[in-house]
Structure 1
Amino acid sequence: MWQPTEKTALFCDLWLKNTFQAVLITNWVQSFAIFNYNKLEWTSSKTEDNTSTSPESEVQAGFDAGNGAAHYQIKGARSNHVESILHTSNVDKPGKWVFRIDLAEIQFEPCLNEKFSVTPRSGHMLGGQHLTISGPCFPRAKTFDAVFKEINKTFPCIVNNAITASCVTPGLSSTGDFTINFNLPPFTNAYEETFSVVNLAKTIPQVIRANPSQWSIGNDVFISWNASELASEKMYIDVLGLTISQNIIQWSSVQNMTESGVENITLTLKETLLDYNTAIVRVMAEIEHNSMSPLALWSDAFPVYQEKRTSEEWCNKWLEAEPPLKVDVDPNNCPCILRQASRDTSRYENDPLCHTDSKDKPLNCLCHQQANNCVLLNLQSKSTAGQSCCYGGKNNSLLEWETSMDSGYVFRYNYRAQGPDIVPYLTHFEADILPHLHCCRYSRKDHLCKSFFKKRPASRCNAYKPPSPAQAAGDPHLVTLDGKRYTFNGVGEFVLMEDKNHTIVVQVKAEQARDIEGKFILFFSFSFFSFSLLSFIIFFPFFLFPFPFFLFPFFSFLFFTFFHSFFLLLSFILSSTFFYCFGQLQNATIFTAIAMKVEDISKVVKVYMDSKTHYKLLLDDQEYHLPTLEMQGLSVTVNETNENSTDIMVVFSSVELSVQIEVTPDVLNILLMMGSKTLHNNVEGLLGNYNGNASDDFISREGIMLLPNSSMAEIHYQFGESWKVKPEERLFTSIPEPKNEDTYQPVFIDTLDESNLRNGTAELCGDVLPCKFDYQLIGKPSIALATKKFVTKFDALQKDIEKVNLCPPIGYLENGNMTITGNLPGDYAIFQCDPNYIRLDSEKVTCLPNGTWDRTIPKCVKKVPTPQWHSWFAYGIGAILALICIMAFVCSKCRRSLIQTVSKDDISLPPILQIEAISQPIFSNQHFLQSLQRLNEGGSFRIPRPTYIDPKIYEEYF
């Protein structure tokens, strides 16, 4: 804001003002003060008789640190020539003066041939990005060259004025940190600065593609951009096709147009783009300087797609040409659920193209639309291969290719891979992402998608083993890699973890904590009482004799109130300062620094607390200020949280080790995650031996093993103290070694009397013992609360990475489809067969808590067709059988009717012939003939129906 400074010598001249603006700028490394002078209406505080009051009453211009030493006075200040500051400057802008104020002496000259400063210090690999260079005084030459040292890539820069220059980055085929050399005549390679080239997968596009899933040949598509980033009225829009040849990116213009004063446009994708597999949109500014490349904005890379038929052809050609995949990546090692994957930072990272925290929502999960989140394998294999694991459904379980085309799979190239004929991300896009899209999503052919997953094995989790977490937090409270909990509060530098070959080393620095709670209140009360008494003594006479305030009776009370408030503030400041610097040392320690090294990584990573900048991150003793760092086998990510703390994630992917450092204003809390099988039973230090057995973690440097139930005093002196860093092994070369005070006597957590704790402990800590211990010893609520949060977070992490009982994969359902909610207990699958197929076994199966399906997985089998003549024959046989049945039924009915009739009218008949009288043929037998003559006796004649015929009679007479 503009500050009007009044002339104070005469009351009648108070309306005269001198106006200036002060701006303070700092990045916690360099600090600057900018003064903008606007108007001067008085130059001195002389009295009416033209006599000066004092030299200090003259108009002062410049910067004064107020410490009696660091100050600079602009030429002409405190004289009648001071008005010249309105028309002069040290940065070529009248009225503007810039001072560097972080040095021992105020730096007045804006350029003193110091180190270059490049803004911004990172950018994407496609080029066209504007860089502002500042630092030394630039020569009068209009141009000079800059060179990416590691790859010998030269690009021109132009001088804007004596203190700034501009460059435009060229396109590159590599990512990572590069050194830019600036060749300023007569100095060659005298100035250099580090510039980070960011992978295209992690770059947010500056040209936005609306509805990206609808971008196919022949469609009208819409793009937009921020025209202010180009600062050009005329803009050139190009649709470019990609060709990669010998590790060189070549973009060929397929469509182009020129527009003026617009920020969006609609265009139609032409068929000529089908000559390429990958395309991109570039919006380029008009060339301002012939010696420098134009500024450019880029979209994301997108697949060239026309229709289902062309994708089928593309996929078939790829399947024929693609050689077998020979990689050292096991597709069965994915975490089974997302919460496991998000916690396993030693082996997996979020897919920059598909994760829940993505800032680029329209493009997020565009290639895995059924997934909620995907993770990528950290470890870069010797074959440059990679792997993705994708999660979806209500439980965010691992997607499998049999049930989802968007499941993860093994890559021929991971997105970071670079080298001969390999361009970061773009080679991966063409070799892995495009085949998956054409064979599965675009073609919509199950057999093509199935063939793709034979070329790129789908990810599974049947061989996954969770990593081992470890903790070092608060005073410090440690949990070993095998889960053993203890507290160790030594002072000095200690080996937190190292392998037995000393190729992987993690060291920590512990210092004594200070108690500020009770002593601060006591000192503040004493200070406030003292200053209040002084205020009363000074102003007591004015209450008794109010002169010279008799004209203004209220002034006495007003001045007293003002000074009383001032002394109150002064008491607080003095008390805070005194106890921040001189608070009483406690018999407790906290971690204040950590250093890490892996032998095949050239950088030693250090993080330590700093009173000015909160923390410092060093790589080989050089401060690093960028939010991300990516190197072969090492990545660093800095995340400023909203809780007055900073999370720094360091991942050594080559050894499957991650270290998360939580930097609070009071302490460093550390979470270490180990996933390496090769390091199993091969590490030592304060975090144990990583063999899966928590009972043998307390092994000293000399090889002596303590019992797991040893007292904290025994653990402290016989185990913890043995792991002090030897002088020749120190990684903290730039940090002084902490002093162990002679009066220091550690207090052990197993001696804590929970019945005699500080007031407010229960409300602050609940039932978290480490929090109670820290609050009791250190007395600072912020440290205790940070310990509680970190311990709670660690406990939740342990639960999240626990092994889950997952039901086995169902597999691909031939000749049908299924709907599956996942493989976790409670999930289910429903099966449906295609037309002309029938299902064998159940329609639905459910996953049981023991990790098995409750029923047999069904199959779909084809119905067996019957030949036509077989059908007619079957019909004929059926008709005959039906006729026979009808006739039999009719006959049986008639017979039953006849029997009933005979039964109703039956009469008693005389015997015709006695059996014993038969001695000759029947018709010549006199007895038989006489019997026939008597048949009409007693009524009408009827022939009796025989009910039995003796076989002997039948044989003899008939």
Structure 2
Amino acid sequence: MASHSMATAAILTVMFLCVFSEVIPSSEISEDVEMIDTGDPMTSRIAPPPTQEKSGKQTYADTNSPNYVMTADRLRQIRQELLYPFYDQGGGTDNIGDYQKTIKDHSPQVTKSLNFLLPYFGFGYNYTWVSLHGFLAFSDGPTLSPEYPLEFPITDYPKHSDPSFIGPFYSKCKIGELNGDEVDKRGSGVYFRVERDLPSRTDRLGVELRERLLWDIREGIVGAEWFEPRHAVIVTWKNVTFGGGTIHARKTTNTFQLVLGTDETRTYALYNYKHLGWMTHTEAGGSSEDGSGGTPAFIGFNAGNGTRAFEYKPYSQSPKIFDILSSGHVNGMPGRHIFRVDERIMPGQCIPELFQMTAHSQMLTFAPESGNMLGGTIVNITGPCFTPTKSITCRFNTLRVQGSVINSNRATCVMPPLYATGYIDLFVEVDGSNDLLWKGKFLVETPFQAPELVSFPDNDQLQQDPQKLTIKWDTKNLTMNNNVPVSITLWGYKEDTINPELVYIDTLADSIPNEGRYVIDPKMFQIKKTAWAVDLEIGIITVNITNPSDALGVPYAPVLWSRPIPLAWYMYRQWQEKYGMLWSEQMCERWIVRDRLLKNFASDLPVCPCTLEQALADKGRFHPDPNCDKDGKVNLCYLHQNARHCVHSSMPSQSGGGQQCCYDIFGYLMMTQDNKWGGRPGRAHDLGHIPWNEASKVPSLSHYLHDVAPFFPCCMWNHDHSWWCLTYRFERRPSQNCVGYQPPAVAGVFGDPHIVTFDGMPYTFNGKGEYVLVKSNTDRHRLDIQGRFEQLPNNNYGEVRATTLTTVAARDNQSATVEIRVRPRDAQWRYKLDVIVDHHRVFFDRYPQKIQYFHGVTVYTPSTIQNQSHVIAMFESGAGVEVVENKGHLTARVYLPMTFLNQTRGLFGNWSGIIEDDFVLPDGSSGPIGNTNSLEMMHNSFAMHWNIDEKDASEKGSSLFYHENGKTSSNYNDRLFRPVYYTDPAQIVPLNVTLKANSINEFCGDSLPCKYDYSVTLNKEFAHWSKYYESELINIKENNLKKIISCGALMTPIHGRKSTFKYTPGTEVAFECDPDFVLVGDRKRVCQANGEWSTPAKGGSDKQTESEWFNWVPTKSTRCIEEGEYQSVNSAATAGIVLGVVVPILLIAFFAYTCYRRRKQEHVVNAADPRLRNTTAVEMTKSMIPEKSNGEKGSPSGRHEKSV
């Protein structure tokens, strides 16, 4: 959390739970309280008597004070002692307290049950071995080797044992003798004590131990501000001497202590060194007289099982070992050293000098390890030793900020605003040293990825003119003191130039109590005149301490940021004054004009999958949208109502854009052509784009400004069918309609190991070592994906001659290298898989960090996965690697887009669509073709050729794996390993095994991998998961990634609706209109097998001209028009019928009648004059025309003549 800050450490010392009811006056406590027997459990030699409840919880009888409480004075008093309490009397029938009488020189070890989970170095234990030799072990104790100095972990594990242990002073020890003049008369030897269930304890010892340990840890190491111990282990080695010493040397002794505090998730270890009189036993070259010289004791931690170790330099196995008494200074005490030890070892004290710095991959301990890109996170740092006179500078990537010294072990720096995302280098410089030795990896979170530390529970910030604005924050993220005044401020973000700006707008509240909630009246701010800010469209609200110098003692304080929000609630009146009452329309039009001037970004975005199943299975290009995730912590989908799930493109496109695809409850793609809630492409990806400090490339802020904020004035604050919303939906941010979507190809490996290639060819290969799964080396793609196969452990019948996948490593072009490996069974109590990116372990259990971004690759775990058992890595090329773990059994699947067709080699085959050419050798020649059931042929003639090591071979590449502790590929590669080549269970299962082939066939059914694995391993669970993973891969190939034909978007008529939003062949879509509207055009359309909608029966078309798109002329085939308009159209149609049909009929009738009259007249004339009976009408007409003076026939006009 961003709350891990110096503020907490400064204030925690004065915050306590209760009031003390029984206080021993300080005058009665001597300077050396360890010798006093006062009944005080912190100083007494007599252990309180334990009692045991039926529940198994540990309780203590305390008749004097059954509900013990204490004051701050008492806590300060008991924290002044270096050693925690240990007893040599009482505590049981033996009356020896914590003393371990069975530990002797000849029997130096005893086993103890913890009855709770103790997380240590990635593993989890509920037992321990206590050793006289200065360590606490979690397996058989380490063997004291004659070869010094000691080195851990043991590199040739498992040939030689590599035990897990905590070693405050690991050396060959013996029980020493007292001088006789000691004040502390407790006997020499080893003391062991466990205190359980501390939070529920009310007895005096339980309360005091809990509070003492709690505050010693919280104030002793960064990042422990919220730690509350549930259980404690106290191991004390008192007056132990060195092995091999003379009889006079038995009084040369050491006294030291190990204290463990755990809440069963985190574990902290305190090393307390009271006295060191010797440093080396004689077998390590030490003097037999005083234990000097030689190779001193090992101080540190070993995880065991050949995994990891931490040697505490510069003290361990060094002459500087005596300096450990005067260093540390944890809680201000010389000789106290503290470490966090649950997952990795993190020292809480400074290192006084540089010692083999190159051997340490991360020297700094700091918390928190991540922060909001906008800055304001206070980072507590431990590394070099600090003094008040030294200047401290923190360098976040390239930005330097001045720090403040808290004490010798701790300094703080405030994170500056950083236009970046992902992991960056954090350096600490002392007195301007400008060295790069003190460093670590700091995660910069985008404003949408970071925890929402300032929120708006009622969503008032999204309204135009809300009556109130409720602001909420967690008070503890600022300070534990709720009376400390805080301020609330408003900031605006703009990109008017190439340089983006975050500008201060106003103070919303000043010096208010830190109560975690505040309600403001927006109208009080709407009347303000801020003309310079009226063009700002989005803003961010912050909460911070008003006077940090007074409250915290440092000149800066943590800043809590909201996520970006619209500014209508603040600018409502000012926007009305500038744009008029229809200000939202004007602002939308202003954005449309501005967006049209920018370059096109949609052409290089990935095409949306057609169905939710495809989107979930496309693991190389799309990941869940955190704001609308069906499996997410909060599935709001506020901007995509009725959506079941949305996905987002994993990486920015070449132009910096991002694709978003949303799916309805039926799993179909939602499109803005149907309503405003469909998924929308973005001009700016949430990750931003390099360089992150330029306009339209800033993570989260550019995306919100260009793609999210315009949605409010255009659609949310306007009618869905308004010109502005339609323009937003159809022109500026239209949904991608999935036409042309090409599902990726998938290949996988599982079980013992069984491989299915991209083209679907299954085969079995039991290689042992590191191999190429996928290799692509072209001008466009340079992809390397490798797998490590290790031999299965022995079963009850001996060696298992088979291997299984344990690790996958991948890199794409110049991306970071991602390695995903299964953890040992005993280390799976919390995390199932380790994720290592560029040699740096990363974790995904915290919700805001479920998705993390690295150079060229996005890595995430699904929202429902809390144990890191399912990890997906997505590369810029569109390639995806998915690793899934169940009960320690691994499967890996690789997803490749069409751009990799005919460009892959390796165990996953040549992806060409033809299975016959899958097995290509590294030199390009063809491997075996034919029967893949010949396991020996596949093993020798094909698969073994893809074995790799550290040598860089151009056709295979070199090993990508992170080899720790001096290991190389040769520690894993075994080219002589011979697996079982038979495939028939009857030939595989040993005769002395009760398992029969019939039982195998009955359990596995038709699954050949299951039968083979059951037969070889004799492990039913192993066979079950092979069958399960095989079924999953088949389902992904045949169903989830099946190509779907889409007819694309069919626009819903404005003021109308469709019967379905489906768009697959065979879909029949019926149209209806809203009340008071009438449907004009086709009432039904059908999606045809060729991916086209049926041709409109009326001859219309869905194609629209550029002018129609810009002016939103709806589809010509189907429209919904108002009834009044429909009636007008009908009247016009009727008039057209009258003019076009009736009038011509009347004209024809008139002409017919005229002809009839003329004929009738001719008949009458002919009957009267026989001379004219044979004269035509024309001739008769001509004879009737008078002659002109020139003898020509006359004409009244040319018109008449032309008419004739």
Q: Same fold (TM over 0.5)?
A: yes
1:792 and 2:1031 are equivalent in the alignment: yes
Please name the residue that 2:922 is paired with. Answer: 701
CA offset digits 1:82-126 (Å, max 9, x no partner): xxx999984135699435598999999763446111212111111
Contact 1:701–1:723 (8 Å) recurs in 2: yes
Aligned-pair CA distance for 1:488: 1.1
CA distance in 2, matches of 1:829, 1:300: 41
Please name the residue that 1:440 is paired with. Answer: 715
Contact 1:34–1:96 (8 Å) recurs in 2: no
Please name the residue that 2:820 is paired with. Answer: 607
Of the three residues 786, 806, 817, the one matched with 1:592 is 806
Of the three residues 649, 665, 670, the one matched with 1:399 is 670
CA distance in 1, matches of 2:974, 2:121: 35
Aligned-pair CA distance for 1:407: 1.6
Consecutive unaligned residues of structure 1, counting only runs of 5 or more, are 48-52, 80-84, 520-583, 878-958
State the AA in 2 paired with 1:716.
H
State the AA in 2 paired with 1:321.
R
Please name the residue that 1:14 is paired with. Answer: 95
Contact 1:116–1:193 (8 Å) recurs in 2: yes
Please name the residue that 2:660 is paired with. Answer: 388
The change in CA–CA distance for 1:807 and 1:96 in structure 2 (over 3 A counts) is farther
SS of equivalent residue, structure 1 residue 811? coil
CA offset digits 1:128-153 (Å, max 9, x no partner): 2121211332223365121123xx32
Aligned-pair CA distance for 1:72: 7.8
CA offset digits 1:48-90 (Å, max 9, x no partner): xxxxx99799998524799xxx9988334899xxxxx999984
Of the three residues 190, 199, 209, the one matched with 2:456 is 209
Aligned-pair CA distance for 1:679: 1.7
SS of equivalent residue, structure 1 residue 222? strand
The change in CA–CA distance for 1:15 and 1:752 in structure 2 (over 3 A counts) is closer
Of the three residues 674, 678, 682, the one matched with 2:896 is 674
Aligned-pair CA distance for 1:691: 1.4
SS of equivalent residue, structure 1 residue 200? coil
Of the three residues 366, 372, 389, the one matched with 1:118 is 366
SS of equivalent residue, structure 2 residue 387? coil
Of the three residues 395, 413, 438, the one matched with 1:191 is 438
Aligned-pair CA distance for 1:228: 1.3
Contact 1:407–1:459 (8 Å) recurs in 2: no
The change in CA–CA distance for 1:780 and 1:139 in structure 2 (over 3 A counts) is farther
Please name the residue that 1:467 is paired with. Answer: 744
Of the three residues 459, 481, 489, the one matched with 1:238 is 489
Aligned-pair CA distance for 1:284: 0.7
Contact 1:403–1:819 (8 Å) recurs in 2: no
SS of equivalent residue, structure 2 residue 443? strand
Contact 1:511–1:738 (8 Å) recurs in 2: no
CA distance in 2, matches of 1:107, 1:443: 58
Aligned-pair CA distance for 1:220: 0.7
Which is further off, 780-789 or 449-458?
780-789
In our comparison, the structure showing a higher alpha carbon Rg is 1
Please name the residue that 1:803 is paired with. Answer: 1043
Please name the residue that 1:556 is paired with. Answer: none
Aligned-pair CA distance for 1:277: 0.4
1:316 and 2:589 are equivalent in the alignment: yes
CA distance in 2, matches of 1:426, 1:487: 50
State the AA in 2 paired with 1:466.
P
The change in CA–CA distance for 1:219 and 1:491 in structure 2 (over 3 A counts) is same
Please name the residue that 1:266 is paired with. Answer: 519
1:351 and 2:590 are equivalent in the alignment: no
The change in CA–CA distance for 1:838 and 1:491 in structure 2 (over 3 A counts) is same
The change in CA–CA distance for 1:262 and 1:688 in structure 2 (over 3 A counts) is same
CA distance in 1, matches of 2:592, 2:974: 71
CA offset digits 1:759-788 (Å, max 9, x no partner): 674686565332332232123444334333
Please name the residue that 1:866 is paired with. Answer: 1131
Contact 1:332–1:459 (8 Å) recurs in 2: no
The change in CA–CA distance for 1:465 and 1:346 in structure 2 (over 3 A counts) is same
Contact 2:769–2:969 (8 Å) recurs in 1: no
The 5-angstrom pairing of residues 444-455 of structure 1 reads: 444-446=719-721, 447-452=723-728, 453-455=730-732
Please name the residue that 1:365 is paired with. Answer: 637
Please name the residue that 1:724 is paired with. Answer: 947
The change in CA–CA distance for 1:832 and 1:255 in structure 2 (over 3 A counts) is farther
CA distance in 2, matches of 1:456, 1:596: 35
Please name the residue that 2:424 is paired with. Answer: 178
CA distance in 1, matches of 2:185, 2:1025: 55
CA offset digits 1:260-299 (Å, max 9, x no partner): 1422111122335754200222111133348643211122
Of the three residues 648, 651, 673, the one matched with 2:874 is 651
CA distance in 1, matches of 2:699, 2:632: 20
Contact 1:122–1:196 (8 Å) recurs in 2: yes
TM-score norm. by structure 2 comes to 0.58
State the AA in 2 paired with 1:301.
P
The 5-angstrom pairing of residues 701-850 of structure 1 reads: 701-702=922-923, 703-712=925-934, 713-725=936-948, 727-728=951-952, 729-731=957-959, 732=961, 734=963, 735-738=968-971, 744-748=977-981, 750-753=983-986, 758=995, 761=1000, 765=1004, 767-798=1006-1037, 799-813=1039-1053, 816-818=1056-1058, 820-823=1060-1063, 829-833=1069-1073, 838-840=1078-1080, 843=1083
Of the three residues 761, 780, 789, the one matched with 1:510 is 789
Consecutive unaligned residues of structure 2, counting only runs of 5 or more, are 1-57, 61-83, 101-113, 124-163, 170-181, 190-237, 242-249, 261-268, 279-323, 355-362, 573-580, 1098-1116, 1143-1204
1:137 and 2:382 are equivalent in the alignment: no
Aligned-pair CA distance for 1:744: 3.4
Contact 1:344–1:673 (8 Å) recurs in 2: yes
SS of equivalent residue, structure 1 residue 737? helix
CA distance in 2, matches of 1:256, 1:508: 56
State the AA in 1 paired with 2:490.
V
The change in CA–CA distance for 1:16 and 1:375 in structure 2 (over 3 A counts) is closer
CA distance in 2, matches of 1:416, 1:108: 34
CA distance in 1, matches of 2:633, 2:1134: 68
CA offset digits 1:574-624 (Å, max 9, x no partner): xxxxxxxxxx443211123322222332x3333345547565443344444
State the AA in 2 paired with 1:688.
G
1:98 and 2:337 are equivalent in the alignment: yes
SS of equivalent residue, structure 1 residue 75? strand
Aligned-pair CA distance for 1:810: 2.0
Contact 1:333–1:464 (8 Å) recurs in 2: yes
Please name the residue that 1:281 is paired with. Answer: 541
Aligned-pair CA distance for 1:179: 1.1
Please name the residue that 1:478 is paired with. Answer: 755
Contact 2:239–2:254 (8 Å) recurs in 1: no
Aligned-pair CA distance for 1:655: 1.2
SS of equivalent residue, structure 2 residue 438? strand
Aligned-pair CA distance for 1:658: 0.7
The change in CA–CA distance for 1:725 and 1:331 in structure 2 (over 3 A counts) is closer
CA offset digits 1:337-393 (Å, max 9, x no partner): 1121111011112223322233344xx32222232222122342221122211111x
Contact 2:1067–2:1087 (8 Å) recurs in 1: yes
Contact 1:7–1:13 (8 Å) recurs in 2: no
CA distance in 2, matches of 1:683, 1:474: 23
Aligned-pair CA distance for 1:708: 4.4
CA distance in 2, matches of 1:106, 1:403: 55
Contact 1:309–1:443 (8 Å) recurs in 2: no
SS of equivalent residue, structure 1 residue 404? coil
CA offset digits 1:747-770 (Å, max 9, x no partner): 236444499693674686565332
Contact 1:351–1:375 (8 Å) recurs in 2: yes
